[in-house]
């Protein structure tokens, strides 16, 4: 779609910039209509000014600037998190870091949290409540920040071919940043995890696929599978549940442990995407696994849960379908955007899955 927009503007050499911009806007709207996407506020979520599809809400300017080619000192921000910048050959990104006091004697692990579109690290930290869990369990939380120069709506560019591969683009930056923080705090790769919401979840899945040597497990909330899109137009189709299911991996190849949360009422990223993340991961695990299905309720919402464990009893997959949940973090805090206080606590369940600790148990 980026190329289509550029072509649409270049095809009218005699027209004023405003006329060209209007034509490009018309093209965007027609594309959205073709995919049945008209925006709107997700159930139970706070929407901070998104002008096009919900959590991926990209304005025209965001779509046109969203695809780009593609260690420093730290200080403390108003939320108490330290902030810094990581640079490598693939690019540069800022980050926020929460280090619990007890982590000074040795951190239990590292959880990387990737925010959704229009969000930032402080907003995402407030909405997920992950820092409180870090204080309780003794792990460090890293919040990379997407720059508006690389995506005008602060979306991770999960739909860009250049940002879906190892040693290129955003995966290279995020994996390098994670390695650096883990090294600084003497954290082993077996205790390093990544989770995200929406566009952040889609990028977390990409990181799990491309850097299984860096991330031991992935948490995907309201996200999409690796390879679901190749450009903005196919991203809209995938978000609507119309993307091809051709990215299903070969049985038996390497994958990381994965936990998935998705709401059945998500009108921004179709729930079929959560199922596909689960199915792709399931296809990659060895056949010697134990499967379990259960229904339950938590926080005023019912859910269906599918879990897969290996022969040693280690959970390898955990798939939560939350009834009535829209495009929002399940069991989240109202202080952050895209949260729904109802339902199971996604943050606690992800931490329990990552560290193999009961969700209600303190470290």
Residue 91 near residue 160 (C-beta atoms within 8 A) = no
pTM over cut 0.85: no
**CATH 3.40.50.1820 is right for the domain spanning 100-355:** yes
The vertex-179 CA angle with 174 and 183, nearest 5°, equals 150
For residues 241-256, one letter each, b for 16 or more C-beta atoms within 10 angstroms of the residue's C-beta and e for the rest, the string is: bebeeebebeeeeebb
The vertex-82 CA angle with 80 and 88, nearest 5°, equals 155
Residue 111 near residue 98 (C-beta atoms within 8 A) = no
Going residue by residue through the chain (363 aa), what tens digit of pLDDT does each one get? 333 333 333 333 333 434 443 444 444 444 444 333 333 333 334 333 233 333 444 333 333 333 333 344 455 655 679 999 999 999 999 999 999 987 767 899 999 999 999 999 999 999 999 999 999 999 999 999 999 999 999 999 999 999 999 999 999 999 999 999 999 999 999 999 999 999 999 999 999 999 999 999 999 999 999 999 999 999 999 999 987 665 445 444 567 999 999 999 999 999 999 999 999 988 876 666 788 999 999 999 999 999 999 888 889 999 999 999 999 999 999 999 999 999 999 999 999 999 997 664 433
């Amino acid at each position: 779609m980026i190329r289509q927009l550029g072509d649409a503007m270049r095809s009218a050499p005699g027209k004023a910039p405003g006329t060209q911009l209007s034509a490009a806007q018309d093209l965007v709207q027609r594309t959205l209509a073709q995919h049945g996407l008209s925006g709107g506020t997700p159930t139970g979520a706070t929407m901070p000014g998104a002008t096009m599809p919900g959590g991926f809400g990209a304005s025209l300017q965001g779509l046109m600037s969203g695809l780009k080619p593609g260690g420093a000192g730290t200080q403390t921000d108003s939320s108490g998190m330290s902030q810094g910048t990581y640079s490598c050959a693939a690019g540069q990104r800022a980050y926020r870091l929460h280090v619990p006091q007890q982590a000074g004697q040795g951190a239990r692990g590292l959880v990387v949290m990737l925010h959704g579109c229009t969000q930032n690290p402080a907003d995402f930290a407030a909405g997920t409540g992950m820092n409180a869990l870090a204080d309780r369990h003794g792990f460090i939380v890293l919040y990379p920040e997407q720059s508006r120069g690389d995506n005008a709506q602060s979306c991770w560019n999960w739909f860009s071919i250049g940002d879906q591969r190892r040693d290129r683009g955003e995966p290279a930056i995020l994996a390098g940043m994670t390695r650096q923080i883990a090294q600084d705090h003497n954290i082993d790769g077996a205790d390093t995890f990544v989770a995200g919401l929406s566009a952040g979840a889609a990028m977390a899945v990409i990181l799990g696929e491309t850097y299984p040597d860096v991330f031991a497990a992935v948490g995907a909330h309201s996200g999409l599978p690796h390879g679901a899109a190749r450009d903005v137009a196919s991203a809209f189709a995938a978000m609507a549940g119309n993307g091809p299911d051709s990215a299903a991996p070969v049985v038996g190849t390497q994958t990381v442990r994965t936990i998935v949360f998705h709401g059945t009422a998500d009108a921004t990223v179709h729930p079929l995407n959560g199922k596909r993340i689960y199915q792709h991961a399931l296809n990659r695990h060895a056949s010697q696994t134990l499967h379990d299905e259960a229904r339950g309720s938590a926080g005023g919402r019912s859910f269906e849960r599918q879990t897969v464990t290996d022969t040693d009893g280690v959970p390898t997959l955990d798939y939560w379908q939350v009834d009535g949940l829209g495009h929002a973090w399940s069991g989240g805090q109202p202080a952050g955007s895209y949260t729904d206080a109802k339902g199971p606590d996604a943050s606690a369940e992800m931490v329990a899955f990552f560290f193999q600790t009961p969700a209600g148990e303190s470290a």
